[in-house]
Structure 1
Amino acid sequence: MASNASGDHDLQDLKAKAEIAEFVEDALPQEHQEYKKREARLVAKLDIYLAPILMLLTLISFLDRGNIGYAASQGMIVDIGLKGNQLNIAISIFYVFYILAEVPSSLLAKRLQFNRVIPAVTVCWGAVCLGNGFITGFPSLVACRLLLGLFEGFLFPSSVLLMANWYKREELGQRISYLYIAAALSSAFGGLIAFAILYMDGTAGKQGWQWLYIIEGIITIVIGVMCFWLIPKDYQTAYFLNAEDRIIMKRRAELTESYNGGQGHYTRKDFMLAVADVKTWLHGGIQLAVMTVVYGFGVFLPIIIKTGFQYSTKQAQYLAIPVFLWGAIVYAIGGFLSDKYQKRFLLVVAAAPFGMVGYSILLAYDRVSVGVQYFATFLISTCIFLCGGGNMAWLSCNSAPDGKRAASVGITLTLTNIGGIVSGQIYVVKQAPQYRLGHAWCLGCLLLAWIGWCVLRYIYNVREHEKDKAIGEGVATPPGDFSDRATTYRYQL
């Protein structure tokens, strides 16, 4: 009887799978409401089990790289004997190996498997962050910052490409926005943790800033080890998907690959397609400008509040928290609306002027009150995460095949982190309290980005017009030449 019961169960299971497969195949036009409901439940699972892990990793990544600003405001500069512009050098040098790691990680992460690469590098940079708590001078600080940059350089491109392998492009913008929301939240959490750890100053003979690095390092290592089990290899083996989910995921993957020209591996041709496309460099240049602002604001805001606005160390820690929280909330709303209405250009061009006004207020240091200057930081926070995340999502949604997308993301992120090097040099402590160079530089970056987006919108419109003209003339793109320039591929504007 047990054998017959088991056989009946297996037979029923096979019938159920067959019905699901037939149902999915019949729903290819995707207008079928029941299919849409099942697919929506699947996407909700991805948002519950996959996206939060990547958000958490992004949060601790930005936390570990940005806590140098909080450490500096808590006395690290004096304790390890930093002189002149050594703090600025230490901030900038992080991005040297970070940049070198990004293009290789973009091209190799999928082949090496995301579920191996991401947890491994997380554990490594957690160990380096822990080691930061034991530095004794400028040389050891530089060594830790270089290694931290090397390991963290693998995370963001791997996360973006992992999302692109699980989500459709119509869903991707909002999910990439999650990573930038996490980046904004990291600065807020950094302030909260730094404020709490001020009370550990002197515990076990260590300063508060040392405990900041040690505690955050231990947390990172633990989370990295957990990710070996939390990040699935693929949808076929994902622990949170059932048989129905896997069949729908298979169809989604097939539709995405057929639309994007995916071949499952990246070639030199894909890389050259990205290099030869002007939009790669325009998006990359814009990202360089915007992320110079993001990195500069994220690292130096506690220092600006303390030495620029003349607040105490404790006040500088907790006053930074609501500024970054506001940026995260604004970006969450903006990312949702951008995906819902498929409007990429409008999001970024509407956001940038808020930051321009904010930096203009900070440049008028002698003519406005401290309260108004603090309000200006909220205007800047309104802008920068929307601009950085929106630009990256726009590029990702408009690049095909997937090998070209990977190369475009890698190139853009490399240019992005040149902005990180620049950001470490524009806020010089001896220029306190006005910080005119830093504020003026950031204002100029946002203006250049705004102009760049207008140029990009013009290029996209011209290309769409050319595609419409080719379709009208009966011109078709050969399958072997498929890219986002193909007549069948439509850009998101």
Structure 2
Amino acid sequence: MSAHRESEELPAKPELDSQAQQVETATLAEDAEFKKREARVVAKLDLYICPILIILQLISFLDRGNIGFAATQGMITDLNLVGTQLNTAVSLFYPLYILSEFPAALIVKRVGFNRVIPAAAACWGLCCLGNGFARNFGDLVACRLLMGMFEGCLMPSLTLMLANWYKRDEIGLRISYLFISSAISSAFSGLIAYAILFMNGAAGYPGWRWLYIIEGSATVAIGAACYFIIPSSYTTAYFLNEDDRAVMRKRAEMTEAYSGGQGHYTRTEFTMAIKDVKTWVHATIQVMCLTILYGFSVFLPIILRFGFNFSVEQSQYLSIPVFAWGSIVYGVCGYLSDRFSRRFLACIVCAPLGVVGYAMLLGGNHLSVGVKYFACFLIATCAWTMGGANVAWLSTNTAPDGKRAASVGLTLALGNLGGIISGQIYPQTMAPAYTLGHAWSLGAICISFCLWWVLRHIYYRREALKGQILEGVVPRPADFSDRVPDYKYQH
């Protein structure tokens, strides 16, 4: 009986193996087909979503940073600015900017990206336009304060919109686009400022007023257009067909299963962000990074003009290649960090070059102007890369959605304290050496570099703790977050 039963069972095994192989082959084929369809959808997102966000970020930095170019074109004299009033006007952009970032991060998904972003753009455009008609220091401060409040809604909205449309292994490169556009905007500012020099005196207005009037009007027009261009969700996106929406639906399900995205945020998720030490470490680093970024991007034309003794025209067009170089470097770093999922290296690899650049400016009294100009390129190598890579690292290592929104919102809001600091470390009284600004920025790079190593230790320690959870040594967290074993950090 036993032998007979074995003879009956043995032939069935090849059939079962064959069926399993067929199922596996079919599954692999389905996965390959889905990946092809997904690649086409991601390409559409890059074609329709990313350009809108890049343009918005570009004009945002154009409007906030053009005060440096306006200052070299006669604004200081025309508005009778004395002492550190220019620095105060630069810094006062950020208090309301900071206060508006965190609430914007919490409400933008509920209210709708297609409503919040266009409205914010149109409002800060009107404020920028108002700068062109300022008659004194008080007018300038009022416009800067209001402009900061509305611009503060943009960066968290754009970051979370990217997280809403892209998967986490795709978001690093797309966030890099935002910082690349800020670098490009600085280059465009130099080009636009140089071109507007030729409008000086038109209709009785000096060139710096035309700088604000033209850029502010363009921002209002772009904000109005974005109301019709930005889709409310993938279900209504005009550039996606039914097959594309099916792919997006599956991508959303995969993201929700992995990151806990539910489309609404709870107090528990907010508390998770507040209690997580990595939120505060990333935020501290962001303060340092944005001190460097804003100080360098706003004051470079002034440093070239009054520090290196270039003419007004030279300070405008010599800033262009420096900012362009910064955008290229960050674009490469953003691509490579996504390609290899290496966030830590993207943060630290360029920092030493920035240290060398600022050290050259600090101890460069004996150096030629050409060598000090080269030091600006070394600084640009790290200025945009550091801030963008830091936010990307936090965003890709935080879940669920509510915790990510709170963590990113806090980091961006607190990080913009760097904007207030940057406005005070380059007082005109310290020209031509600008020792305080260069020394402060050098210290900020060093602090960031050290804290990234601390973050690296935190992430690896938490991965080890997840292993202990799987082994049953440590209890599993009650609520889903990036602390559970199923969620893998990117290092």
Q: TM-score range by the shorter chain?
A: over 0.9
| Structure 2: runs of 5 or more not aligned | 1-24
Name which one, 1 or 2, has greater alpha-carbon Rg.
Answer: 2
Give the RMSD, CA atoms, in angstroms: 1.4
AA partner of residue 242 (structure 1) = N
- In the alignment, is residue 60 of structure 1 matched against residue 59 of structure 2? yes
Deviation per CA, 1:111-160, whole angstroms, max 9, x where unpaired?
11000000011011111111110000000000000000010000000000
Residue 256 of structure 2 corresponds to 257
Offset at residue 83 of structure 1 (A): 0.5
Residues 451 and 29 (structure 1), Cα distance of their counterparts in 2 relative to 1, 3 Å cut: farther
Counterpart contact for 1:399–1:405, Cα < 8 Å: yes
Q: Which amino acid aligns with 2:286?
A: Q
Distance (whole Å) between structure 2 residues aligned to residue 27 and residue 194 of structure 1 = 60
Q: Is the 8 A contact 1:401 1:484 kept in 2?
A: yes
Match of 1:326 in 2: 325
Q: Provide the C-alpha distance between the structure 1 equivalents of 2:124 and 2:30, rounded to a whole number of angstroms.
A: 46
Change (3 A) 1:399 1:121: same
**Secondary structure of the residue that 2:240 maps to in structure 1?**
coil
**Aligned positions, number:** 467
Judge conservation of contact 1:476–1:487 (CA < 8 Å) in 2: no
The answer to whether residue 478 in structure 2 is matched with residue 492 in structure 1 is no
* 1:179-204 deviation per Cα after TM superposition (whole angstroms, max 9, x unaligned): 00000001000000000000000000
User: Which residue of 1 is the match for residue 125 of structure 2?
Assistant: 126
CA–CA distance in structure 2, aligned partners of residues 28 and 414 of structure 1:
45
How far apart in 2 are the matches of 1:488 and 1:31?
A: 24
2:244 matched residue in structure 1: 245
Paired residue type of 1:482: F
Q: Distance in 1 between matches of 2:161 and 2:459?
A: 26
Letter of the structure 2 residue corresponding to residue 403 of structure 1: G
Deviation at 1:29, TM superposition (A): 8.0
Question: Deviation of residue 474 (structure 1)?
Answer: 7.9
200 and 159 in structure 1: CA distance in 2 versus 1, 3 angstrom threshold: same
2:15 — aligned with what?
none
Shift of 1:415: 1.2
- CA–CA separation in structure 2 for the residues paired with 1:476 and 1:337: 36
Tell me the residue number matched to 1:201.
200
Q: CA deviation at 1:267?
A: 1.3
Q: Is the 8 A contact 1:286 1:449 kept in 2?
A: yes
Instruction: Give 1:331-342 correspondences, 5 Å limit.
Output: 331-342=330-341
Q: Which residue pairs with 2:7 in the alignment?
A: none
Corresponding residue for residue 372 of structure 1: 371
In structure 2, C-alpha distance between the alignment counterparts of 1:156 and 1:414, rounded to whole Å: 10
Equivalent residue for 1:17? none
Q: How far apart, CA to CA, are the structure 2 residues paired with 1:114 and 1:262?
A: 17
CA distance 1:372–1:31, change in 2 (3 Å): farther
In structure 2, how many angstroms separate the alpha carbons of the residues matched to 1:474 and 1:114? 43
More moved, 29-38 vs 195-204: 29-38
- Consecutive aligned runs of 4 or more in structure 1 exceeding 4 Å deviation: 26-31
Are residues 27 and 347 of structure 1, via their aligned partners in 2, closer, same or farther at CA, if it must alter by over 3 Å?
A: farther
User: What residue identity is the alignment partner of 1:254?
Assistant: E
Q: Is structure 2 residue 116 aligned with structure 1 residue 107?
A: no
Instruction: Tell me the distance in 1 between the aligned counterparts of 2:40 and 2:253.
Output: 19
CA distance in 2, matches of 1:316, 1:208: 15
Query: Which segments of 5 or more consecutive residues in structure 1 lack a partner in the other structure?
Result: 1-25
Are the equivalent residues in 2 in contact too, given 1:399–1:483 (CA < 8 A)? yes
Q: State the TM-score, normalized to the length of structure 1.
A: 0.93
Q: Map 1:123-202 to 2 at 5 A.
A: 123-202=122-201
2:13 paired residue number: none
User: Contact 1:102/1:154 (CA < 8 Å) preserved in 2?
Assistant: yes
Shift of 1:367: 2.0
Displacement of 1:279: 0.3
The aligned counterpart of 1:218 is 217
* Alpha-carbon distance, 1:28 to partner: 8.3
Report the counterpart of residue 417 of structure 1 in structure 2: 416
Q: Matched residues in 2 for 1:27 and 1:263: separation?
A: 31
- Are the counterparts in 2 of residues 192 and 321 from structure 1 also a CA contact under 8 Å? yes
**Does the residue aligned with 2:349 lie in a helix, a strand or coil?**
helix
Task: Give the distance between the partners of 1:429 and 1:388, measured in 2 at CA.
Answer: 26
Question: How far is 1:263 from its partner?
Answer: 2.0
CA contact (8 A) 2:69 2:316 kept: yes
Asked if 2 retains the 8 angstrom alpha-carbon contact of 1:30 and 1:36, the reply is no
Residues in 2 aligned to 1:271 and 1:309: alpha-carbon distance in whole angstroms: 48
Q: 1:492 to 1:27 in 2, by over 3 A?
A: farther
Instruction: Give the distance between the partners of 1:28 and 1:267, measured in 2 at CA.
Output: 37
2:314 is matched with which residue?
315
Deviation, structure 1 residue 264: 1.5
- 1:447 — aligned with what? 446
Q: Distance in 1 between matches of 2:416 and 2:147?
A: 14
CA distance in 1, matches of 2:29, 2:433: 57
TM-score, length basis structure 2: 0.93
1:11 aligns with: none
What pairs up with 1:41-80 in 2 under 5 angstroms? 41-80=40-79
Moved more, 253-262 or 60-69: 253-262
Distance 2:434 2:425 in 1: 8
Q: Residue 395 of structure 1: SS of its match in structure 2?
A: helix
1:477/1:359 CA distance change after superposition, 3 Å:
same
Q: Tell me how far 1:477 sits from its aligned partner.
A: 3.7
Counterpart code for 2:268 = K
Question: Aligned partners of 2:171, 2:260: CA distance in 1, in Å?
Answer: 17
